[in-house]
Homo-oligomer: A and B are copies of this chain.
């Protein structure tokens, strides 16, 4: 294996192990020694890649940010309309939070009160939700009189809430939870005269996977 490949693999492994430590102990109580031990690398090897714990947390959050971006992008290219794209984006986000421990840790870090400079991932998700709702309105797919702000707050609130609730009990992050929310919410949002009726289930074939992923 070329040296570059080996360095890239070590870096990925350090991110994966830092994510696992943050998940288990929270940011404040995680030590670099713990991350080294989990990854089976020396302290020198860790410092070759990351200056400090904050830099490791930044890298974990960046993975979550990229996953959020992919969920939004995947949704944007759907031919079945913006409202279905929003349903699919929420399912994609929930799926990647269920399946990828690094992305999950990254989201958790973004609202860890012991970090002050975390990425505003929830705000980005809120912005993605607003964009897709505006696109749905422009397509004539939203029912008349739907308050855009209310809809964006409800969708963002419930997706963030289910993610937080799943920390204690994974069932909250299951596909049925989000499908249940959409089953109740879609009839309020969708214009009854629109051609294609959105469905509350995920119509995308697969959740977006991380480039070069493989964590958990």
Asked if A112 is an interface residue, CB under 8 A from chain B, the answer is yes
Asked if A161 is an interface residue, CB under 8 A from chain B, the answer is yes
Asked if A193 is an interface residue, CB under 8 A from chain B, the answer is no
Number of copies of this chain that the complex holds: 2
Contact across chains for B154 and A181 when beta carbons are under 8 A apart: yes
Complex: A204 Cα to B97 Cα, angstroms: 38
Asked if A123 is an interface residue, CB under 8 A from chain B, the answer is yes
Contact across chains for A113 and B23 when beta carbons are under 8 A apart: yes
- Chain A contacts to B: CB under 8 angstroms: 23-26, 28-29, 108, 111-114, 120, 122-123, 146-147, 149-151, 153-154, 156-162, 164-165, 167-169, 172, 177, 180-181, 183-185, 187-189
Interface of A is mostly: helix
Contact across chains for A120 and B168 when beta carbons are under 8 A apart: yes
Complex: A162 Cα to B158 Cα, angstroms: 8
Partner of A158, one of B108, B149, B157: B157
Complex: A161 Cα to B107 Cα, angstroms: 13
Partner of A185, one of B156, B162, B172, B184: B184
List chain B residues, Cβ under 8 A from A114: 25-26, 28-29
Contact across chains for B29 and A183 when beta carbons are under 8 A apart: no
List chain B residues, Cβ under 8 A from A177: 153, 157
Contact across chains for B183 and A147 when beta carbons are under 8 A apart: yes
Would you mind naming 29 contact pairs between A and B with Cβ atoms under 8 Å apart? A24-B113, A25-B28, A26-B26, A26-B28, A108-B113, A111-B164, A111-B167, A112-B113, A113-B167, A122-B164, A147-B180, A147-B184, A150-B180, A150-B181, A150-B184, A153-B181, A154-B181, A154-B185, A156-B165, A157-B157, A157-B158, A157-B162, A157-B165, A157-B172, A157-B177, A157-B181, A158-B161, A185-B185, A185-B188
